[in-house]
A and B are shown apart, each in its own frame.
Chain A
Amino acid sequence: MRLLFFCLILFLSQPFAIWAQEEVLDQKISVHLKQANLEEVFQKIESKLNVKFSYAQKTINTTKLNYKFKNEPLRVVLNAILKPSNLTYTLMYGNIIVITNLNTSTPKFNISGYVYDQETGEKLIGALVYNNRTFQSCFTNQDGYFTMQMPKDSIYLNIEFVGFEMGVLNTYLDKNLKVDIGLIGNLQYSPKRVTGAYGTGIESRSDGFVLNSKTIRRIPLLFGESDVLKSLLLLPGVISGNDGTTSLNIRGGGSEHNLILLDDVPVYNASHLYGFFSIFNADVVKSVKLIKGGMEARYSGRLSSVVDVRTIDGNKNKFKAQLSIGLLSSKISLDGPIGKSKKTTFFVAARRTYFDIIGEIFNLSNTLPVKTSYFFYDINGKVSHRFNASHQLSIAFYNGNDNSYVNNTISIKNPNREIKEKDKQNIFWGNQIMSIRYHHVWHPKLTAWLNLSRTAYNFGNENSYQYSENTDSFKFENTLANSLKSSLNDWILSYNLEYKLNKFWAIKAGVGAIQHNFSRRIKFIDDNNVVPKYTDNTLERSQEFNSYFDVKYDFKNLFLINAGFQLTTYSINKNVVSLPQPRLSLMLPIVKRLQLNSNYQRTTQFLHLLTGYNLGIPLDLWLPSTQKAQPEFSDAFSVDLNYAFRKFDFRVGVFKKFLYNVIDYKDQSNYLGTTSNWDEKIEVGKGWAKGLELMFEKKVGKTNGWMSYTLSKSERQFSGINNGNVFPFKFDRRHQFAVLVNHQVNQKFDFFVTWTYASGSRITLPETFYNITDPRYNRQQIYIYGERNKYQMPDNHRLDFGVNYKRYFKTYSTILSVGVYNAYNRFNPFYVLPSYNSKGERIFEGISLFPILPSVNYKITF
Chain B
Amino acid sequence: MFVACRKEVVFKTSNSQVALVVDAILTNDSLFMIKLSQTQAINDNSLNKFVSNATIEVFDVDSNIISVLSYLKDGQYVSNLVKAVPNEAYIFKISHQNNVFWANQAMPDTLKTKILDTSRLLFQGVSQFFQIKYDLQDKSQLKNYYGLKIKAVFESINNQDTTLLTEWLPIETNEFVLVQDANFKFSKTNLLFSDQYFNGQNTILNFGCANLFNNPNKKIKYLVVYSSSLSVAAYQFFASMNEHQFYQNDPFSLPPPLQGNVAGAYGGVVAQYMKADTVRFK
Binding site for B on A (CB under 8 A): 355, 369-370, 374, 408-410, 412, 419, 421, 423, 465, 467, 480, 526, 530-532, 612-615, 667-671, 673, 764-776, 778, 780, 782-786, 790-791, 793-794, 827, 829-834, 837, 840-851
Contacts and interface: CB of A to CB of B under 8 A. Distances in A.
Contacts of B40: 768-770
A791 B175 CA distance: 43
Contacts of B14: 767, 786, 790
A831 B35 contact: no
B257 to A, nearest CB: 7
Given A773-B23, A776-B151, 10 more contacts: A421-B122, A613-B252, A764-B254, A765-B11, A769-B40, A775-B190, A776-B168, A783-B42, A844-B10, A846-B7
A287 B1 CA distance: 31
A772 B42 contact: no
B64 interface: no
A422 to B, nearest CB: 9
B43 A842 contact: yes
B122 A773 contact: no
A834 B15 contact: no
B254 A773 contact: no
B11 A791 contact: yes
A837 to B, nearest CB: 7
B7 A827 contact: yes
B267 A670 contact: no
A412 B6 CA distance: 42
18 contacts: A408-B125, A423-B124, A531-B175, A531-B176, A613-B252, A667-B254, A767-B15, A767-B16, A770-B39, A775-B272, A783-B244, A784-B266, A793-B9, A837-B8, A842-B42, A848-B7, A849-B2, A851-B3
B165 interface: no
Contacts of B15: 767-768
Given A423-B125, A766-B42, A829-B7, A782 B241 contact: yes
A784 B39 contact: yes
B8 A408 contact: no
B97 to A, nearest CB: 17
A846 B10 CA distance: 9
Given A421-B125, A670-B247, A776-B149, A767 B41 contact: yes
Given A791-B11, A851-B5, A670 B253 contact: yes
Interface residues of B, number: 65
A773 B25 contact: yes
Contacts of B175: 531
Given A770-B39, A773-B23, A776-B168, A784 B124 contact: no
A770 B241 CA distance: 12
A833 to B, nearest CB: 6
Contacts of A766: 13, 42
Across the A-B interface, the 8 shortest Cβ-Cβ residue pairs: A831-B251, A531-B176, A846-B9, A668-B256, A770-B21, A670-B253, A613-B252, A849-B2
B189 interface: yes
B37 interface: yes
Given A768-B15, A768-B16, A829-B7, A774 B241 contact: yes
B241 A844 contact: no
Contacts of B248: 783, 833-834
A776 B190 contact: yes
Nearest to B246: A670
Contact of B9 (A369, A480, A670, A844): A844
Given A423-B124, A767-B15, A776-B168, A614 B252 contact: yes
A613 B11 CA distance: 22
Contacts of B53: none
A775 B149 contact: yes
Contact of A833 (B23, B238, B251): B251
B8 A843 contact: yes
A421 B125 CA distance: 7
Nearest to A839: B45
B257 A668 contact: yes
B142 interface: no
B254 A765 contact: no
With most chain B CB atoms within 10 A of its CB, the pick from A369, A526, A790, A844 is A844
A848 B4 contact: yes
B119 interface: no
Interface in B257-274: 257-258, 266-267, 272
B211 interface: no
A827 B5 CA distance: 8
A77 to B, nearest CB: 74
Contacts of A768: 15-16, 19, 39-42
Interface of B: 1-11, 13-16, 19, 21, 23, 25, 35, 37-45, 48, 122, 124-125, 127, 147, 149, 151, 168, 174-176, 185, 189-190, 228, 238, 241, 243-245, 247-258, 266-267, 272
A849 B238 CA distance: 34
A775 B147 CA distance: 9
Nearest to B8: A843
B189 A776 contact: yes
A601 to B, nearest CB: 31
Given A613-B252, A670-B253, A827-B7, A765 B13 contact: yes
B28 to A, nearest CB: 14
A785 B1 contact: no
A688 to B, nearest CB: 23
Contacts of B43: 842
B147 A849 contact: no
A669 to B, nearest CB: 7
A783 to B, nearest CB: 6
A771 B37 contact: yes
A410 B128 CA distance: 13
B122 A847 contact: no
A405 to B, nearest CB: 15
Of B1, B23, B38, B168, chain A has the most CB atoms within 10 Å of the CB of B1
A222 to B, nearest CB: 10
Given A671-B253, A784-B257, A785-B254, A847 B4 contact: yes
B116 to A, nearest CB: 15
A408 B124 CA distance: 8
Contact of A786 (B2, B16, B38): B16
Nearest to B14: A767
Contacts of B245: 780
Contact of A847 (B5, B35, B147, B254): B5
B41 A612 contact: no
Contacts of B244: 782-783
Contacts of B9: 793-794, 829, 832, 844-846
Contact of B4 (A532, A832, A841, A849): A849
A764 B255 CA distance: 11
A847 B2 CA distance: 11
Given A833-B249, A844-B8, A419 B1 contact: no
Contacts of A423: 124-125
A833 B244 CA distance: 14
Nearest to A791: B11
Contacts of B48: 771
Nearest to A355: B1
Contacts of B13: 765-767, 786, 791
Nearest to A764: B254
Interface core residue of A409, A768, A794, A848 (most chain B CB under 10 Å): A768
Given A532-B176, A775-B147, A786-B13, A845 B6 contact: yes
Contacts of B122: 410, 412, 419, 421, 467
A829 B11 CA distance: 13
A530 B203 CA distance: 12
**Most chain B beta carbons < 10 A, residue from A410, A671, A770, A782:** A770
A845 B8 CA distance: 4
Which among A408, A480, A847 has the greatest number of chain B C-beta atoms within 10 A? A847
Contact of B174 (A412, A465, A767, A775): A465
A846 B124 contact: no
A834 B45 CA distance: 13
